[in-house]
């Protein structure tokens, strides 16, 4: 865990151009390559929280009370396991904002001779930047990274409305997704309870302060 980290690095500096990930996803697609000229594809960095990473994820799902401190804890935890976590982002060069992201989780299996399976999670492109092939760019690059890490397949879950998008990226319908929601326990439940209590107290104070 990184909770004991002694000093936080400066997160305000823009991403260096050399951090970009090399991808063959645009080969044979000159039109898409031209459209992507204004973007940089690279791995997630510490400073990306300040470049709109949380609001971007919020276009996909509920991010909850994700503070910069908690973001850095998760980031540093993942950095310790580059063989298991690969998060890509796309930065819009002119605004220095993160406008796309996707994550590959690598699972070591006992089956298939102890091979690996890649799980694609948290795929989202900022609404104003859709339609230029950024999602395909992310998915093609993650597929390359999965292959390099020894994955024999890459799988993901998606809404039915997004099936055509993933089919364009080479995915095909397979099996059925099932889900079990687990109630929070321990520290998570306590933290959630404190947040609700604080919110209610603030609300009561606001009501009492009204004339």
pLDDT, one tens digit per residue, over 87-128 is 999 999 999 999 999 999 999 999 999 999 999 999 999 999
User: Cα(166)–Cα(154) distance, rounded to whole angstroms?
Assistant: 12
Q: How many CA atoms lie within 13 A of 197 on its CB side?
A: 6
pTM above threshold 0.75? no
Q: Which of the four pLDDT bands, split at 50, 70 and 90, describes residue 30?
A: low
Q: What pLDDT score does 94 carry?
A: 95
The C-alpha R_g of the chain, in whole angstroms, comes to 20
User: Cα(157)–Cα(159) distance, rounded to whole angstroms?
Assistant: 7
């Amino acid at each position: 865990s990184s909770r004991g980290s002694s000093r936080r690095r400066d997160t305000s500096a823009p991403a260096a151009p050399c951090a970009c990930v090399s991808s063959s996803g645009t080969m044979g697609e000159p039109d898409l390559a031209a459209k992507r000229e204004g973007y940089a594809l690279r791995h997630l960095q510490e400073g990306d929280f300040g470049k709109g990473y949380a609001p971007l994820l919020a276009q996909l799902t509920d991010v909850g009370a994700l503070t910069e401190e908690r973001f850095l804890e998760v980031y540093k935890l993942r950095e310790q396991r580059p063989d298991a976590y690969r998060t890509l982002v796309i930065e819009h060069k002119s605004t220095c904002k993160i406008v796309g992201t996707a994550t590959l989780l690598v699972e070591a299996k006992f089956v298939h001779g102890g091979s690996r399976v890649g799980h694609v999670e948290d795929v989202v492109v900022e609404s104003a930047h859709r339609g230029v092939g950024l999602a395909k760019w992310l998915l093609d690059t993650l597929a390359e990274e999965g292959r390099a890490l020894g994955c024999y397949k890459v799988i993901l879950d998606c809404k039915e409305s997004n099936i055509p998008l993933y089919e364009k990226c080479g995915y095909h319908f397979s099996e059925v997704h099932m889900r079990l929601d687990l109630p929070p326990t321990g520290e998570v439940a306590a933290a959630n309870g404190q947040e609700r209590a604080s919110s209610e107290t603030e609300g009561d104070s606001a009501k009492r302060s009204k004339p």
